[in-house]
Structure 1
Amino acid sequence: MTPKDAPRGSGVLVIGLGRFGAALAATLDRLGREVLAVERSASLVQQWSGRLPLVEADAANPEALEQLGAAEFPVAVVGVGSYLEASVLITGNLVDIGMPQIWAKATSAEHGRILRRIGAHHVVYPEYDAGQRVAHMVSGRMLDYIEMEDGFAIVKMRPPRETQGFTIGQAQVRKRYGVTIIGVKPPGEPFEYATDATRINAGDLLIVSGDTTLLEKFAARP
């Protein structure tokens, strides 16, 4: 049976315990997902020993991946970004064993193109994405910002003053601003799905979706 044909488990293989990889692996572990971290630095292995399931190995070596059973995982994340050669070698090794889902960290557009060309299914840019999110948040009432595709985003924000004290239907949010309030969280209460009858108060948090340009305008209103 070849590695590609072999049965796979349900865990996530995280390669590299830098800031990105460590945060990812720790979050997966906290969520109860099966995770195995792989790190070649003895000092990082020592730092995370007892806190995460991990092995000390150089994933740029195909034999090391074979020995740790990488082919049994359905998903791998390459958190190595600073060393381009290592990032490319590790991603290539995962492609060679037929890894169904490969997520890889890139530090530049050129780096990302190389990773996609050799077979990475998803490329992420943590520093760029974080900078973009913060830029949107510091420019208005946004408390969180997630951009999807084709200019569509979902944001968490405080309500503009002109909507406070009105229901969503009364404020005509969709008609006047072109965005959709999909959830409202009053202070101390859970989020609830929004309807036209949902009242917006000053202390509420809103979850709003729509075109990024329209969301920016809505969030920038006093």
Structure 2
Amino acid sequence: MKKNQFVIVGLGRFGSSLGRELIQLGYEVLGVDKDEEVVQEMSDVLTYTVSADCTDEETLRSIGVRNFDVGVVAIGDDIQASILTTILLKDLGVKTVVAKALDELHGRVLEKIGVDRVIYPERDMGIRVAHQLVSPNLLDYIELSKDYTIAELVVTGKMHGKTLSDLDLRARFGCSIVAINKPNGIIIAPTATDVLHERDVMVVIGTNEQIEQFEEAATR
């Protein structure tokens, strides 16, 4: 199957970090920024780089953005440029457009113009770090929606040697363990007979409240 190709508009901290990771994952990435110095710095990292003004429709058309599967608008502080670039990417036929929002108002505007996904890097990172700071067994925290979360929790000594059947998470708390990361590999969709060992990492899905209740019970 052909892999998606990405165009990232704006090669600041977020855009360049995203581009590096996509390259590491084996994808082709076109990076676009109006700053020639930034473009030059990223030219050896990304598949292609172009210095261009992405608020100009003809410029975007000439660099062939319509041929890319996913467009990411990662423009920094210029909200007007972010919105205009997003509209142009949609109009030019980019299949999926993702845009970085600086705040909730910017995000609402992006949603109204048809963005497929709005990303709030600073806000989301702040939420994740806050949860990690107050929960010593929480390694990572990703909010799927306003109610549902995926969390990575370390198996405590209290759970060591117990099977998932012993824990009975779904009946007791309503959440589910969807994977277990062990030293010798990851178990995806573990069964009731899988045994937990101290320092294993559980990937748990549920509401925020369910996961909090499970974590409290696991550490008491």
Q: TM-score, normalised by structure 2?
A: 0.89
Q: Find runs of 4+ consecutive structure 1 residues off by over 4 angstroms.
A: none
Q: In the TM superposition, what is the alpha-carbon distance from 1:10 to its structure 2 partner?
A: 4.2
Q: What do the CA deviations read for 1:187-214 (whole angstroms, capped 9, x no partner)? A: x210113221111111211111111111
**One-letter identity of the residue aligned with 1:26:** R
**One-letter identity of the residue aligned with 1:143:** L
Q: Which residue of 1 aligns with 2:65?
A: 70
SS at match of 1:206: strand
Q: In the TM superposition, what is the alpha-carbon distance from 1:143 to its structure 2 partner?
A: 0.3
SS at match of 1:17: coil
**One-letter identity of the residue aligned with 1:149:** S
In 2, are the aligned partners of 1:184 and 1:204 still within 8 Å (CA)?
Answer: yes
Matched pairs, number: 213
Between the aligned residues of both structures, percent identity stands at 34
Q: Which residue of 1 aligns with 2:123?
A: 128
Q: Does 1:83 align with 2:78?
A: yes
Q: Which residue of 2 aligns with 1:191?
A: 186
Q: In the TM superposition, what is the alpha-carbon distance from 1:49 to its structure 2 partner?
A: 2.1
Q: What do the CA deviations read for 1:21-70 (whole angstroms, capped 9, x no partner)? A: 11111111222212111011122112212221211111111121111111
Q: Which residue of 2 aligns with 1:165?
A: 161
Q: Which residue of 2 aligns with 1:60?
A: 55
**One-letter identity of the residue aligned with 2:100:** K
Q: TM-score, normalised by structure 1?
A: 0.89
In 2, are the aligned partners of 1:145 and 1:153 still within 8 Å (CA)?
Answer: yes
Separation of aligned partners in 2, 1:16 and 1:47? 13
Match of 1:14 among 8, 24, 30: 8
Which consecutive unaligned segments of at least 5 residues does structure 1 have? 1-8
Q: Which residue of 2 aligns with 1:36?
A: 30
Separation of aligned partners in 2, 1:89 and 1:157? 41
CA gap 1:202/1:14 in 2 versus in 1, 3 angstroms: same
